[in-house]
Amino acid sequence: MAVALVLVLIVVGSVLFHLLSPWWWTPIASNWAYIDNTIIITFWITGIVFAAVVLFMAYCVFRFRHREANRAAYEPENKRLESWLTIVTAVGVTALLVPGLFVWSRFVNVPSDATDVEVVGQQWQWSFRLPGKDGKLGTSDTRDVSADNPLGVIGGDPNGQDDVVVEAADLHLPVGKPVKMLLRSIDVLHDFYIPEFRAKMDMIPGSVTYFWFTPTRTGTFQVLCAELCGQGHPLMHGVVVVDTQQDYVAWLGQQQTFAQLSAPQQTGSVEQAPGKTTGLKIAAKLETAGAR
Partner 1 sequence: MVDITPADGIPPAEVAEVELYHPRSWWTKYVFSQDAKVIAIQYSATATGIGLVALVLSWLMRLQLGFPGTFDFITPEAYYQFITMHGMIMVIYLLTALFLGGFGNYLIPLMVGARDMVFPYVNMLSYWIYLLAVLVLVSGFFAPGGPTGAGWTLYPPQAILSGTPGGQGWGIILMLSSLILFIIGFTMGGLNYVVTVLQGRTRGMTMMRLPLTVWGIFTATVMALLAFPALFVASVMMLLDRALGTSFFMPAISEMGEQLPHNGGSPILFQHLFWFFGHPEVYIVALPAFGIVSDLISTHARKNIFGYRMMVWAIVGIGALSFVVWAHHMYVSGMHPYFGFFFATTTLIIAIPTAIKVYNWVLTLWRGDIHLTIPMLFALAFIVTFVNGGLTGLFLGNVVVDVPLSDTMFVVAHFHMVMGVAPILVVFGAIYHWYPKVTGRMLNEMLGRFHFWVTFLGAYLIFFPMHYLGLMGVPRRYAELTDMTIMTESAHHLNSFISIMAFIVGFAQMVFLFNLIWSIRHGREAGGNPWRATTLEWQTPHTPPAHGNFGKDLPIVYRWAYDYSVPGAKEDFIPQNMPGSFGPSREPA
Subset of 39-98 contacting partner 1 (CB under 8 A): 39, 42, 45-46, 49-50, 53-54, 56-57, 60-61, 64-66, 70-78, 81-82, 85-86, 89-90, 93, 96-97
Using CA atoms, how far residue 81 sits from 51, 53, 54, 76, 85, in Å, is 20, 15, 19, 12, 6
10 Å Cβ neighbour count for 260? 16
Contact status: 234 vs partner 1 (CB under 8 A) = yes
Q: Specify the residue, 132 or 173, whose C-beta has the smaller distance to partner 1.
A: 173
Q: How far is 110 from 114, CA to CA, in rounded Å?
A: 7
Q: Which residues on adjacent β-strands are paired with residue 239?
A: 222
What is the rounded distance in angstroms from the CA atom of residue 288 to the CA atom of residue 292?
6
CA distance 219 to 244: 9
Which residues contact residue 157 at a Cβ distance below 8 angstroms, ignoring those fewer than 6 apart? 138, 139
Around 78, how many Cα atoms within 13 Å sit in the side-chain half-sphere?
Answer: 8
Q: Does 233 bind Cu ion (CB under 5 A)?
A: yes
Contact between 194 and Cu ion by CB under 5 A: the answer reads no
Q: Which does 125 bind (CB under 5 to 8 A by kind): partner 1, Cu ion, none?
A: none
* Residue 6 interacts with which of Cu ion, partner 1, none, CB < 5 to 8 Å by class: partner 1
Using rule CB under 8 A, residue 31 touches partner 1: no
Closest to Cu ion by CB, 171 or 270: 171
Among 290, 196, 199, 177, which Cα is nearest to 243's? 177
- Contact call for residue 111 and partner 1 (CB under 8 A): no
- Residue of the chain from 159, 202, 251, 255 that contacts partner 1 (CB under 8 A): 202
- Residues 197-226 touching Cu ion, rule: CB under 5 A, are 225
What CA–CA distance (Å, rounded) separates 216 from 179? Answer: 12
Q: For partner 1, give the closer residue by CB, 179 or 225.
A: 225
Question: How many whole angstroms separate alpha carbon 225 and alpha carbon 121?
Answer: 9
Binding residue count for partner 1, defined by CB under 8 A: 104
Asked if 229 is part of the footprint of Cu ion (rule: CB under 5 A), the reply reads yes
Query: Whole-number minimum distance, CB 203 to partner 1, in Å?
Result: 7
Q: Judged by CB under 8 A, does residue 154 bind partner 1? A: no
DSSP SS3 for 199: strand
Helix (H) or strand (E) holding 166: strand 164-166
Does residue 284 interact with partner 1 by CB under 8 A?
Answer: no
Residue 72, phi then psi, degrees to nearest 5: -70, 155
| Contact pattern for partner 1 over residues 237 through 256, marking x by CB under 8 A | x-------------------
- Which of partner 1, Cu ion, none has residue 27 at its interface (CB below 5 to 8 Å by kind)? none
The site for Cu ion (CB under 5 A) is made up of 190, 225, 229, 233, 236
